[in-house]
Amino acid sequence: MSEFLPTGIQLSYLVAVTLFFFGLKKLGSPATARNGNLWASVGMFIAIAATLLDQQVLNYEMILLGIVIGSVIGAIAAYKVEMTDMPQMVGLFNGLGGAASALVAVGEFWRYLATADVPPLPTTITAVLGVLIGGVTFTGSLIAFAKLQGIMSGSPILFPFQQPFNIVLLVAFLVGSVYICINPFNLPIFLGITGISLILGVLFVIPIGGGDMPVVISLLNSFSGLAASAAGFVVMNNLLIIAGALVGASGIILTIIMCKAMNRSITNVLFAGFGTGEGETGVTTSGSNDKTVHSIDPEEGAMMLGYARSVVIIPGYGMAVAQAQHSVKELVDQLEGLGVDVKYAIHPVAGRMPGHMNVLLAEANVPYSQLYDMDDINPQFDQTDVALVIGANDVVNPAAREDKNSPIYGMPILAVDHAKHTIVIKRSLNTGFSGVDNELFYKDKTMMLFGSAKDIVAQLSSEVKQL
Amino acid sequence: MSTETLISALFVFVLATFAGFEVITKVPPTLHTPLMSGANAISGIAVLGALIIAGDRDWNVTVILGLIAIVLATINVVGGFLVTDRMLQMFKKKEAKA
C-alpha cells in the first residue's frame, strides 16, 4: 500500500499532464476549443483529487473548506462578469494564480525556518525565484486590473528617475537573495525581498498605458505559468513544473503575436512609457488646425450604409467601452436585410486583450466566419463601399504607413482609407491611445459621426430601418 | 532537494516549454482570449503545491499560507475554466447557425 499510493498519484499526474496537453492543443481550433477546455478541467480535477490522497495531506476539513470557498467565489465571478469586462477578469485571475504560487514558495521556505532545518540551496534559490515571479504577477495583475476597471487612470504613470529606481530595487533584490542563499535563517531579509517583489510588480505595470494592455495581459499570463513552475521546483512536483511551463509558453506566444501586431519590441512596450505623447505633440498638432472635418448626421450615414454594396465594420475599444456590440449586430442585420454584404475587420490589438473584439462580437451572436483578420481583409478594402469605424483609432491611422516621424510608424494597420468612403463613429476628435493625431479624420472621403458608439449605432439602425 | 533533482527538474521544465510552443503555435485570433483564460486556469495548478503545504494537522504559518493559497488558486482554476467555457459556448452557438 505504501508503495502503491505514491505511484498511483504520480500516474494520475501523468494522465493530468496528457489532458492539459491535448486540452491546450484543442483550444487552438474553434471547432474543438470547448472540448479542449473541458479536457483541461478534467485533468485539473484528477490532479487535485490525486493530491488529496497524498499522505502529507491530513488537514482535510480546512482544505475542503478552502476549496469550497474558492470554487464558489470563482463560479460566481465567472457567471457574473460582463463580456466587456473580460480583460480585467483575466487579469485578476492571473494575479490570484501568481499570489497562490508565491504563497506556496513562502510557505515552504517558512516550514524550514520553523523546523530549524537548513533548506538545501536549490530549495532556497527556487523559493526566491517563486517569490519574485509570483509576487510580480500578483501586484502587476492587480495594477492591470485597476487600470482596466477604471479604478486608476489608464494612462502611463511616469516619475523622475523611474528606471534608476527600478534598477536599485532589482539590485537590492539580488543582494538580498544572495544573502538568503548563504544564510537562510534570516526572516527579515526574506520578508524584505518578498516586499521588493511586490513593489516591482506595481512599478512594472504603472508606466504602461491602456492601449498596450494586450501585451501586458499576455505577459502576465505567461508569468502566472512560470510562477506555478517555480512553485513546482520548490515543492518538487513535476506536474506543477510542466503545467506551469505550458502556460508560460502559451503566454509568450500571445505576447509575441501582440508585439508583432504593433510592430514594437517587448522592451519598447514595457519601458518606453508609450502613449504619453511626449516629444511628438509639436509635430502632430501643427497640421490639424487648418484642416476641416466632414461631419454628418445619422440619417446621411444610414443612407450611405443602406445603399452600399459592401460594408466593412472596424470595431475598437470604443465599442467595448460603450457596450455597443449588440447594437452593432442589430445594425448589421438591418443592412443584410437590404442585401448589403457586411464583414468585420479585426485588428489583433484592438481592445484591451488579445481577441477582445472577437469575444464581444461572439457575445452579440456574430458568426466568427464573418470576422476577418487584418491580412485577409486589407486587400478587400479597395472593393469596399463603406468602411465603418466604431471606436477604433490608432489601428486605422494612415500615419503608421506614411509618416516616418510618427511614433506608431511601421505598425500594421487596417487600410480603411482604401475604401470608397469611411464613416468614423467617435466621441470627439481626441487622439487615440498613442496620442497621435489621425489623418484619416481629415480626408475628403471620411465622414465623422460624433457621439457615443452605442447611441450612434442605434440611431443608424433605426434610420436604416426606414430606408 | 539535491542539485541532481534540481537539474532533472530543469530538464522537465525546458522540455515542457518547448512542447508548449509546439502545441500552441498557430492560434486563430478568434481564440486568443479563450486560450489565454484557459491557460490561465491551468496555471492555477499551483493549488497542488498549496494542498501539500497546507496538509499539516498542526496550525502554523505554513498551513495558514497554504490555506490562503488554496482559496486563491481555486478561484483561479474554477473561475478560469468556467469563464472560458462561457466564452466558447458563445463561439459554438454560431457555428451551428453559420
Say yes or no for a CB contact (<8 Å) between B46 and A44.
no
Q: Which residues contact B20 (CB under 8 A, 6 or more apart)?
A: A24, A245, A246, A247, A248, A249, A250
Show residues of chain B in contact with A20, CB under 8 Å: 42
| Residue written as grid cell 499532464 | A17
CA angle A296, A297, A299 (to 5 degrees): 120
Stated as kind and residue range, the H or E segment containing A198 is helix A187-205
Please tell me which of the candidates B6, B61, B76 has its beta carbon nearest to residue A93. B76
Mean pLDDT, to the nearest integer, of A312-331?
90
Mean pLDDT, to the nearest integer, of A198-222?
89
Per-residue model confidence (pLDDT) at position A273: 66
Say yes or no for a CB contact (<8 Å) between A111 and B90.
no
Per-residue model confidence (pLDDT) at position A282: 36
A239 vs A30 pLDDT, higher one: A239
Three cell numbers, residue A181 = 542563499
Show residues of chain B in contact with A86, CB under 8 Å: 33, 37, 83, 87
Comparing C-alpha atoms, which of A247, A248, A245, A254 is closest to residue A214?
A254
CB contact at 8 A, A178 and A48: no
Mean pLDDT, to the nearest integer, of A354-377?
88
Which amino acid is present at A258?
M
Three cell numbers, residue A345 = 475587420
Of the spans A239-243, A256-260, A287-291, B21-25, which averages the highest pLDDT? A239-243
Per-residue model confidence (pLDDT) at position A212: 84
Mean residue pLDDT across chain A: 87
Catalytic residue (choose from A394, A403, A417, A437): A394
CB contact at 8 A, A148 and A119: no
Comparing C-alpha atoms, which of B65, B72, B8, B77 is closest to residue A44?
B77
CB contact at 8 A, A308 and A460: no
pLDDT at A288 over 50: no
Mean pLDDT, to the nearest integer, of B8-24?
91
At residue A386, what are phi and psi to the nearest 5 degrees? -130, 125
Quick one: pLDDT band at residue B92, thresholds 50, 70, 90?
A: low
pLDDT at A283 over 50: no
Per-residue model confidence (pLDDT) at position B64: 92
Note if A394 is an active site residue: yes
pLDDT at A284 over 70: no
| Residue written as grid cell 501586458 | A216
- Count of other CB atoms within 10 angstroms of residue A316: 29
Three cell numbers, residue A263 = 510592430
Show residues of chain A in contact with B16, CB under 8 Å: 241-242, 245-246, 249
Quick one: pLDDT band at residue A290, thresholds 50, 70, 90?
A: low
How many A/B residue pairs have CB atoms within 8 Å? 401
Q: CA–CA separation, A443 vs A425, rounded Å?
A: 15
Quick one: pLDDT band at residue B45, thresholds 50, 70, 90?
A: very high
Please name the residue of chain B whose CA is at the shortest distance from the CA of residue A124: B1
Please name the residue of chain B whose CA is at the shortest distance from the CA of residue A58: B55
Per-residue model confidence (pLDDT) at position A263: 81
pLDDT at A465 over 70: yes
Mean pLDDT, to the nearest integer, of A358-382?
89
Per-residue model confidence (pLDDT) at position A287: 42
- Interface mutation vs chain A, best among B3, B68, B75, most A CBs within 10 Å: B75
CB contact at 8 A, A36 and A25: yes
Over A420-446, what HEC string results? CEEEEEECCCCCCCCCCCCHHHHCCCE
Quick one: pLDDT band at residue A367, thresholds 50, 70, 90?
A: confident
ipTM given for this complex: 0.92
| Residue written as grid cell 524584505 | A192
Say yes or no for a CB contact (<8 Å) between B80 and A93.
yes
Say yes or no for a CB contact (<8 Å) between B72 and A243.
no
CA distances from A9 to A4, A66, A265 (A): 9, 21, 43
Comparing C-alpha atoms, which of B70, B1, B83, B69 is closest to residue B35?
B83
Task: Give the closest-approach CA distance of B8 to chain A in angstroms.
Answer: 10
Quick one: pLDDT band at residue A274, thresholds 50, 70, 90?
A: low
Mean pLDDT, to the nearest integer, of A41-69?
89
Say yes or no for a CB contact (<8 Å) between B62 and A107.
yes
Per-residue model confidence (pLDDT) at position A101: 95
Show residues of chain B in contact with A356, CB under 8 Å: 33
Quick one: pLDDT band at residue A173, thresholds 50, 70, 90?
A: very high
Task: Give the closest-approach CA distance of B11 to chain A in angstroms.
Answer: 10
Please tell me which of the candidates A70, A246, A355 has its beta carbon nearest to residue B75. A70
Mean pLDDT, to the nearest integer, of A426-452?
82
Say yes or no for a CB contact (<8 Å) between A245 and B57.
no
Task: Give the closest-approach CA distance of B7 to chain A in angstroms.
Answer: 10
| Residue written as grid cell 498542526 | B58
Mean pLDDT, to the nearest integer, of A146-174?
86
A185 vs B68 pLDDT, higher one: B68
Looking at residue A367, what DSSP letter applies? -
Please report, rounded to a whole number, the percentage of residues in chain A having pLDDT higher than 90: 42
What pLDDT, in 10s, does the model give residues A72-108?
999 999 999 988 888 899 999 999 999 999 999 999 9
Please tell me which of the candidates B62, B66, B76 has its beta carbon nearest to residue A114. B62
Per-residue model confidence (pLDDT) at position A286: 39
| Residue written as grid cell 467617435 | A426
Q: CA–CA separation, A383 vs A340, rounded Å?
A: 13
Per-residue model confidence (pLDDT) at position A277: 46
Count helices and strands in chain A by DSSP H and E runs: 18, 7
Per-residue model confidence (pLDDT) at position B24: 81
Please tell me which of the candidates B74, B87, B90 has its beta carbon nearest to residue A67. B74
Cα dihedral B15, B18, B23, B29 sign: positive
